[in-house]
Each structure stands twice: as structure tokens, then as C-alpha cells.
Amino acid sequence: MIERADSYAEVWAKFRWLVPARYNIAADVCDRHASGHALALVVEDESGSVSRHSFRDLKSASDRFAHVLAANGIGRGDRVAVLLSQSLELPVAHLAAYKLGAVVLPLFALFGPDAIQYRLENSGAKALVTDTANWPKVAALRAELPALAACFVVGGDPAGTRDFWRETRRACDGFTVVDTGPDDPALIMYTSGTTGPPKGALHGHRVVLGHLPGVEFPHDFFPQPGDLFWTPADWAWAGGLLDVLWPSWHHGVPVLAQRVRKFDPDAAYALMARHGVRNAFLPPTALKLLRQTRPAPDLNLRSVGSGGEPLGTELITWGRAALGVTINEFYGQTECNLVLGNCAALFAPRPGSMGVAIPGHEVAVVDETGRPLPDGETGHVAIRRPDPVMFLEYWRNPEATQRKFAGDWLLTGDLARRDADGFFWFMGREDDVITSGAYRIGPGEIEECLLKHPAVAMAAAIGAPDELRTEVVKAFVVVKPGIEATPELAAEIQGFVKTRLAAHEYPRAVQFVADLPMTATGKIMRRVLRERERKGEKP
């Protein structure tokens, strides 16, 4: 754990990694807490019914399902796909696989058939756990997935499957966790790049330990007595699984689960108030939606973390007034997560900054060769290996793994500058940088400025092709409810940015849209906007 101290320098100096020679995620986040009846999971279903589950309950269920998997030929190194939303069954399936030494492939429940098929084929998944709502997507592909030998369905047993809970309850209780080391594979998390198909980031069991400081720091020295964690982020993604679920359970802190089809800000406020949520990971998109409605009066939040897109001054200020906390922004990516962040309990965050290096991680701004750059210069955000949170490799893709590194520096593909005080400032994705005339413009600060305009709810900036300047800045704007999108408003927004940033940075075109293309984790997909712009398509 990060030790509390009076300054960031002291916290950094005191920190030491404690990664044991033998380590298994399931033994750490579940079994060692199972001697009593400590609460692990609170599940509220779509009808509003609430169930509570202890670590002992989870150990018993995962032990039994580990026996089921083993009886169906699943063993060390085999891939087990989990196609579920936030639920009791998702961690049971994960824990059982870890106990066997198998490798879990999390799948997002909103994936379509093509996305599911690619990941199952590429990973060579041998088993699948899903539910009746998602099974039809897999059933249509089953004939094309010869490696997929065993399928377990929550809520039924369609043809060619077994009922998850019936099989689990029939199995023996008690299971001896296989002996695994911190570098033994545990997870494959697919991440979409700017070119080519998604790549599977293979993580070892140590990835949970590697995430701990990146959760403890931006959640103001998590855990504290009475903490209870929730996130709307799906547990198929690093933001839900590795930023919330496993770190909370490592510390014995209960987690709230709710399966939702679409984020509803009023319902989210009510949920957090109803269950006394103390800690929340809220992606920027969720925060922007929450900002558009009135908070529940009985919120009792202690910490809120956010990441994925720069927050900016407006959201930070709103968070203090509406949520009663300073939102701590953090940064990472699937391959190497939670390496930069803020900690309001220790220092005042600088709005718009990604934060400082989380204790334990050596982060720098480097050029393409891995040479560290002086403070103030823009370059690649990079993390030095070895690092416990860093991925092992891209699954079956050694060439992509090699390209990810410049010497011992992992290159994130994000551009930033570091100031003299060690704060990192996001300048954009390497492929998002706008080249206009002699200028290289990052979209981040333009979008932050756009969000300060009282009519703007969401915004994205891209480079649109231009014969004279190569590219010009174009803004896609979602207006707030009740605001009319007019040419006069577009001109007003242009002038607003021009007078606050610089003449070369203001958007020479403003297009009003109903929504913006987003990843499942709430990141704006600027590349989709660029492709549409290049093809002349309307968003």
C-alpha cells in the first residue's frame, strides 16, 4: 500500500513494490478474506432486487466452478472467455479460471458477433461463460469456433451448453489453487489500435498488484473505513475490472454491481445514494451526463477518480460543488494502466493535467528513440520496464510487441509534455495531432476550451483536410438540452475559442451533432470522425 505522508516526495520515497515469488489473483482477492463473513459484493438487479455475497460465498462458488472447468478439460494456460455484464457470475467465473491457472478473456456484453468471433478465434478460447441474453450471438458462430469445447450459460442450458449454476452446485466444494507466479498469464484484454485488428494484451497475475498504487493514490489513500466502491464501467474493461473490482477485493472492500443497458445520470445518483457509495470511478462521459442533472441530496462520496479523456477546469469545479469531492484524474492504457494521477488529499490537482507519476512507476516524455526529453517539450508518454502493471506481450503478435517499445520504454502512443513540477499535460494521441500550416495542434486543449462555453455539452476536435494548411481544426459539438444549434451559435463558439486559445487553434468549422462516437469506456473516437470527414459522410 501507499503510505500516507505530508508530501508527494515523501510518499514516493517510502514506496516499495512487494511482489511475492508465488502469486495468484484468486487466492489474493478472494480466498484469503473468506475465513469470516466479510461482505464482498452487493448486486442490484434491473428490478431493484438486492443480494449480498460474502468472500466466503465467492470462494465456495468459484471452488466449485473450478472443479466444473477441470472436469471439462480446462487447465493451465487454456483460455476461458467470460461474456457477462456486472453480476455475481462474472467474478465467480474469473476466480475459478485463475485457480486453475487458466487465462481469462473478458468480453464486453455489447459486442456484436464480428467482435466476439475475432476475439474467440484469435485467443483460441476453449471455454465460454455467458448468459441467455448473449448466448444467441455465440450460438450463431459456434460452427466456426472449433476450439470452443465447453459453454456454460447463466439462466438456462440452450442446445450445446450447460447451465452454469446447476453445474456449479453439483460440484464439490473446496479447491486447491494451482501454484502460479506473478508472471504467469492470467488475462487477455483486447485493445483497439489505430490500424489493424484489435491486439490482445496478455497480463500476468501481478497486474492486480501493479494496479494498487494507481487506485490508492487517486482515491485519496484508499482504502479508508466504510469505503464501498462502484463504477458504471463494464467489468470486461480494465476500468471496471482492474481499476475497481480486483483492487477493492485485494483490500477487502465491498463493491456494488448493477447491470445497466444505458447510463442514466438520475438513476446513477440514486444508486450511489441508496447504497452509500463512498468511492467511484466515473469516466468523463458519465461525469458530463451527471453534470446535466441535479445530484441526489444524500450523496456521501469520499473519492471520485476519472480517466480516459482530459477533464478540464469546468468538470473539476463542478465536481467540488455537486459531488462534494475533488475529482482526481488519472491516466493509463490497457497495456500499462494507472501510471499517472492526482491525489487531492496530498496536493491540489492542476485542472487539465494527467497528474504526476504514481509512486512505483517511472514515467517520462521521450522521443521516438526512447530518449527522455526536457520538461516543456512534447513527446511520447513512456513507462520504463520492468513494471508490475505492464503487460507481458501482445497475444501471438511478437512484431506488435516489439514496436510498442523503444529500448526499455513502453510507448503509449499518447503525446504530452511534462512541466517543471512533474505534472504531465495531454496533447493528444500521436495520430490525433492536427497539422495546420506550421503548427502541430493537440485536440485536448481545444476540446477543454469548447466545454467552457455555456451551450456546449460535449465536443471533439479533429483535423479536416485543407488544401492550403494541410488541415484545419474542425469541431463537432453536442449542445446542452434546450439550446438551439444555429449558425450564429457556431460563430459565437468559434470566437469563444479564438479569444481564449490562439488564432491558429480555433475551429474554422463547427458542426453540430446529436452525439459523438465513443468507445465502450467513454473515449471519443476521433479517428471515426476523421474517416467520416475524409469520406464526406455526415456523423
Q: Would you list the domain boundaries of the chain?
A: 432-535
Query: Which residue matches cell numbers 473505513?
Result: 225
Query: Which residue matches cell numbers 453439483?
Result: 170
Q: Return all residues near 75 (Cβ < 8 A) that are at least 6 apart.
A: 100, 101, 102
Confidence (pLDDT) at 426: 86
Query: Which residue matches cell numbers 431493484?
Result: 48
Phi/psi for 222 (5° steps) reads -65, 140
Q: How far is CA 224 from the centre of its chain?
A: 23
- What are the residue ranges in the chain where pLDDT is below 50? 194-195
To the question of pTM greater than 0.75 for the whole model, the response is yes
Q: How far apart are CA 206 and CA 39, in angstroms?
A: 24
Confidence (pLDDT) at 192: 62
Is-contact 125 81, C-beta < 8 A?
Answer: yes
Long-range Cβ contact pairs of 492-498 (< 8 A, separation 24 or more): 492/453, 492/455, 493/450, 493/453, 493/455, 493/456, 496/449, 496/450, 496/452, 496/453, 497/446, 497/449, 497/450
**Measured in Å, how far apart are the chain's first and last C-alpha atoms?**
46
Scanning 199-296, the segments in alpha helix (DSSP H) are 207-216, 238-240, 246-250, 265-275, 284-290
Least Cα distance to 206 among 474, 372, 21, 400 occurs for 21
Confidence (pLDDT) at 431: 72
Is-contact 293 305, C-beta < 8 A?
Answer: no
Cβ of 133: how many Cβ atoms within 10 Å? 15
- CATH number 3.30.300.30 is the correct assignment for the domain at 432-535: yes
How many helices (DSSP H) and strands (DSSP E) are in the chain? 17, 27
Cβ of 18: how many Cβ atoms within 10 Å? 9
Confidence (pLDDT) at 436: 77
Q: How far apart are CA 273 and CA 277, in angstroms?
A: 7
Q: Return all residues near 402 (Cβ < 8 A) that are at least 6 apart.
A: none
Confidence (pLDDT) at 310: 76
Is-contact 480 456, C-beta < 8 A?
Answer: yes
Is-contact 284 308, C-beta < 8 A?
Answer: yes
Is-contact 413 527, C-beta < 8 A?
Answer: no
Q: Which is it for strands 353-357 and 336-341: parallel, antiparallel or unpaired?
A: antiparallel
Is-contact 366 242, C-beta < 8 A?
Answer: no
Confidence (pLDDT) at 262: 84
Query: Which residue matches cell numbers 455489447?
Result: 110
Q: Which three cell numbers stand for residue 29?
A: 482477492
Least Cα distance to 109 among 79, 78, 142, 87 occurs for 87
Q: Which three cell numbers stand for residue 69?
A: 472447468
